[in-house]
Amino acid sequence: MAAAASDVMFFILFSIIGSRIQQGLDVAGFCCNCTILWLLKRHHNKLAMVLIWTTMLTHIAIGTLLAGWDSGYFYYLLMFVPTIIVSTPRRTALCMLAALWCFYQGLFLVTQLIPPIQPIAHQAWYLLSAFNATVVIGTVSYFIFTYHRLATQFDETLKRLATTDPLTGLFNRRHALDTAIRESALFARGSRDLSYILADIDHFKSINDLLGHQAGDAALVAVSEALRSVTRVQDVLARWGGEEFLFILPGTPRAGATELAARIREVVAGLEPLAGIGQITLTFGISGQRTGETFDNAIARADIALYEGKRAGRNRVVVAPEDHAPPLHEQAA
């Protein structure tokens, strides 16, 4: 469409200048560009690319021979460079760029040997050169901005895929580990409190064994949505593995994590029973980061508290002690 619009503008320009041959050239170019658009809509991409190259190189050569080298038609050769580099294999791209360079040098030598076939007035020549430069700079800039936007979107997509769990849409274990390392470093500098909640779906293995993995997936998705609904802006929620979820709670003491776990239990208890599964419950293990402790040890203590809750009957919140002396404190359902 942009090329066809350029042909129309060229036609108007040469109508003002009074160059009938150039007008005829622009009419032919407009027809070719319409044909290219028709081919692209019908997915004849290879044939369309051949016609694009043929049309543009022919237009550049004839326009330069008619108006002279200083008319600026050779600028359009620059439009091929980013397209070749981005869309073709390296070896093929080098060959095509070499051919483009040879075309440029050959056209330049010819214009040094013969005068313009249809010379135009100096003012018209300046207008034509400026117009050609403007079209090329605008087109190349549009291409580069478009490529940059697509590359940025692609990079964001890759980052999202690398950090999220495909089933639940929550952060994955890798992202949770990176976050825990960063937050534990902040805790070590005394910046703020840090707590962890491990939550595990009760009797999940029985759901998979008796009802199949589709039912297990449905339970995971339902629980994930419930957990997400109570996650605060500063919290990080991740699928830790299998049916287990991890909350990383920056700026939250152990007591605050306990209150949050209790609220999560209420939200999960309010879920509609899933077909064939019934009411879903969770067991929680909570730990607060200790001074001088690694995040691995802090999460391991939350894991111990979680399994203590499992052994005690499930569907409960168990808090790991702050020191090694007292026993685990359990909040039953």
**Distance between CA 290 and CA 300 in Å, rounded?**
12
Q: Which helix (H) or strand (E) holds 2?
A: helix 2-17
Q: How far apart are CA 223 and CA 65, in angstroms?
A: 72
Nearest alpha-carbon partner for 82 in 141, 37, 134: 141
Q: What contacts 24+ positions apart, CB below 8 Å, involve 165-168? A: 165/238, 165/239, 167/217, 167/220, 167/221, 167/239, 168/220, 168/221, 168/224, 168/239
CA Rg value for the chain: 34
The residue with tokens 């849409």 is: 169
**Among all residues, which ones are annotated catalytic?**
243
The residue among 63, 53, 61, 57 whose CA lies nearest residue 25 is 63
